[in-house]
Amino acid sequence: MRNFSYLRATSTEAARRAAALPGAMLLAGGTTLIDLAKCGVAEPDTLVDISHLKGLDRIEIDEHGATIGALARMSHVADNAEIKSRFPAISEALWQAASAQLRNMATIGGNLMQRTRCPYFRDPSNFSACNKRQPDSGCAAIGGVTRGHAVLGTSEACIAMYPGDLATALVAFDATVHLDERQMPVDAFFLLPGTTPQREHPLEPGEMITAISLPASAAARRSTYLKVRDRQSYEFAAASAAVGLELEADGRTIRDLRVALGGVATKPWRARAVEDALKGKVLEEETVRQASRLAVEGAVDHGANHYKIELAPRVVARAILKMGEAA
């Protein structure tokens, strides 16, 4: 039997030290980690439980921005009145994610760290080839069932889609990920697969997310998260868009625009080309639709996921137009 030890960390510092040991993993809400352990993907030797640590679940908001502790629950953040009014896209991304039960368990730190839903990744007993799980073992997905795989940011080693909703909204609004001793833009926190798909974050052993901070902005205040999927609820995105919009005083010219895509890329995907094409333009449907096509520049499909290239720009356009109407 695969035994592992369970350690209930007494402080952040203790957690960090314990998690630095080989084979150790942090345990927050457990909704990803325990699932992956059951699939045989995660094989921790030590689980370092941080779920009860005090102080890491705070949500602090003022006119400059928000700081959300790594242990804040998805449901609490989604329900926070200040988050709803200053960062509606964050709240919407959260409440459209997973299910009510999962959101009540899952933490913000764990959410960022969730892993791909690639079915080959999740089934080691049937599919031995997976570069993400086992470097240089190959990729079982390429040539297989790819309906849910990424069309942006892929490599020959891995085409797995990053499934999280929250991080998509975070990259749109230039959030910062706070680790114990350093911090980095959320965009830099997610790595492209390249030749090393097993390495998803620039984290050193024992490094822990302590918080996420978001600068306040007019675009964040007028923002939305649009998630498109076959099932109305409890499904990962076929394509999603986090969009924030700020108009000039004339009420029609775009001053600031933030666009990020989910469900289509190997990491939360900021679509700067769309933003740049539209900033300074008058917000009109045709212009928006045209520019939104830039969201999938360079996209590569693997057959069954081709629809994502068609779909993603439409989701982006709808979200921008919706924000345009929401004066």
Query: What is the binding site for ligand SF4 (CB under 6 A)?
Result: 116, 118, 120-121, 130-132, 139-141, 158-160, 197
CA distance 278 to 38: 46
Q: How many CB atoms sit inside 10 A of residue 283's CB?
A: 20
State the binding partner of 228 from other proteins, ligand FAD, ligand SF4, none, CB within 5 to 8 A by kind. other proteins
Q: Which is nearer to ligand SF4, 83 or 309 (CB)?
A: 309
- Taking the least distance from each CB to other proteins, the nearer of 120 and 225 is 120
User: How many residues does the structure list for the chain?
Assistant: 327
310 Cβ contact list (under 8 Å, min separation 6): none
Number of H helices, E strands in the chain: 13, 12
**Applying CB under 8 A, does 318 fall inside the site for other proteins?**
yes
Q: Pairing relation of β-strands 46-49 and 65-69? A: unpaired
Nearer CB in complex with other proteins: 20/228: 228
Confirm if 276 and 203 have CB atoms less than 8 A apart. no
Residue 139: contacted member of ligand SF4, other proteins, ligand FAD, none (CB under 5 to 8 Å, by partner type): ligand SF4
The residue type found at 82 is E
Query: Which C-beta is closer to ligand FAD: that of 27 or that of 291?
Result: 27
| Residues 6 or more apart in contact with residue 240 via CB below 8 angstroms | 93, 165, 168, 225, 226, 227, 228, 261, 262, 263, 315
Please report whether residue 284 would count as binding other proteins according to CB under 8 A. no
For other proteins, the closer CB: 214 or 242: 242
Question: Exposed, middle or buried by CB within 10 Å (0-12, 13-18, 19+), for 50?
Answer: buried
Using CB under 8 A as the binding rule, whether residue 123 contacts other proteins is answered as yes
Note whether 223 and 244 are within 8 A (CB).
yes
Q: Which is nearer to ligand FAD, 98 or 277 (CB)?
A: 98
> Residue numbers of the site for ligand FAD (CB under 6 A)?
25-33, 35, 70, 74, 97-98, 102, 105-107, 109-111, 113-114, 163-166, 208-209, 236
**Of ligand SF4, ligand FAD, other proteins, none, which one does residue 318 interact with (CB within 5 to 8 Å by kind)?**
other proteins
Encoded amino acid at 116, one letter = T
Indicate which single residue of 311, 320, 323, 324 sits in contact with other proteins (rule: CB under 8 A).
Answer: 311
- The residue (of 66 and 169) whose beta carbon lies closer to ligand FAD is 169
311 binds, among ligand SF4, other proteins, ligand FAD, none (CB under 5 to 8 A by kind): other proteins
Choose among ligand SF4, other proteins, ligand FAD, none what residue 121 binds, the Cβ cut-off being 5 to 8 Å by kind: ligand SF4
Pairing mode of beta strands 269-270, 254-262: antiparallel
Task: Work out how close the CB of 115 gets to ligand FAD at its nearest, in angstroms, rounded to a whole number.
Answer: 7
Cβ proximity of 105 and 30 under 8 Å:
yes
Cα 300 to Cα 304: distance, rounded to the nearest angstrom? 12
Q: Which residue has tokens 């890329």? A: 265
Stretch that binds other proteins, among 62-70, 258-266, 293-301, 304-312 (CB under 8 A): 304-312
Residue with tokens 């988050």: 83
Least separation in angstroms between residue 153's CB and ligand FAD is 17
Contacts of 108 (CB under 8 A, 6+ apart): 68, 69, 70, 71, 72, 73, 74, 77, 166, 212
Residues from 203 through 242 that contact other proteins (CB under 8 A): 228-235, 238
Q: Which residues bind other proteins (CB under 8 A)?
A: 1-2, 40, 117, 119-120, 123, 125-127, 143-145, 147, 228-235, 238, 306-307, 310-311, 314-315, 317-318
